[in-house]
Amino acid sequence: PMASRMYHEKVIDHYERPRNVGSLDKNDQHVGSGLVGAPACGDVMKLQIKVGEDGIISDVKFKTFGCGSAIASSSYMTERVLGMTLEQAGAIKNTEIAKELCLPPVKLHCSMLAEDAIKAAINDYKKKRLTTGSKKAGHI
Ligand code: FES
Ligand code: FES
């Protein structure tokens, strides 16, 4: 049918069974939160990471109010970044996501949401650590 041709099966899989949906405690000093929107369509994505003392992403959750491609992109992104360093996670390009999920060009901006969201989450985490790090001697 037409519907299954419009979306690649990997997109459908992530869309029907999205991984890591939910929220982390945004007040947790080890949690970074990113909230971004797509100007093109108004869709919104929230992505949160929890980072261990070793600098490794140990937990990740997302909530996406958007199209199937945006949901699939964020689901896929959460799978990718688990176990990564912040540097590795921040280097993931939306074009990699789009390629992996076989998104058509018109859906590129949906995968951009996932790249923007992980970057925003990393920045939020880093900012938190900067402001609390000096107060907690020996914590870093
Ligand atoms: Fe809705 Fe692109 S048309 S996000
Ligand atoms: Fe807006 Fe896909 S159409 S994120």
- Of 140, 3, 18, the C-alpha closest to 73 is 18
The residues with which 32 forms a beta bridge, in sequence order, are 49
Q: Distance between CA 75 and CA 63 in Å, rounded?
A: 9
Each residue's pLDDT tens digit, 42-77: 999 999 999 999 999 999 999 999 999 999 999 999
Ligand 1: residues within 6 Å at CB? 38, 40-41, 43, 66-67, 109-110
Predicted local confidence at residue 6, as pLDDT: 61
Active-site positions?
Answer: 41, 110
- Of 70, 27, 28, 30, the C-alpha closest to 46 is 70
Residue 101's identity, in one-letter code, is L
Global pTM reads: 0.86
Protein residue with its CA nearest to atom 2 in ligand 1: 41
Ligand approaching nearest to the C-alpha of 36:
2
124, two tokens: 């939020």
Domain at 2-124: CATH architecture: Alpha-Beta Complex (3.90)
CA 41 to centroid of ligand 2, rounded, Å: 6
For the chain, the domains span 2-124
The residues with which 37 forms a beta bridge, in sequence order, are 44
Protein residue with its CA nearest to atom 4 in ligand 1: 41
CA 66 to centroid of ligand 1, rounded, Å: 8
Predicted local confidence at residue 89, as pLDDT: 98
Q: How confident is the prediction for the chain on average, in pLDDT?
A: 90
Q: What is the pLDDT along the chain (140 residues), one digit of tens a residue?
A: 444 456 788 888 988 999 999 999 999 999 999 999 988 889 999 999 999 999 999 999 999 999 999 999 999 999 999 999 999 999 999 999 999 999 999 999 999 999 999 999 999 999 998 876 555 555 54
CA 140 to centroid of ligand 2, rounded, Å: 38
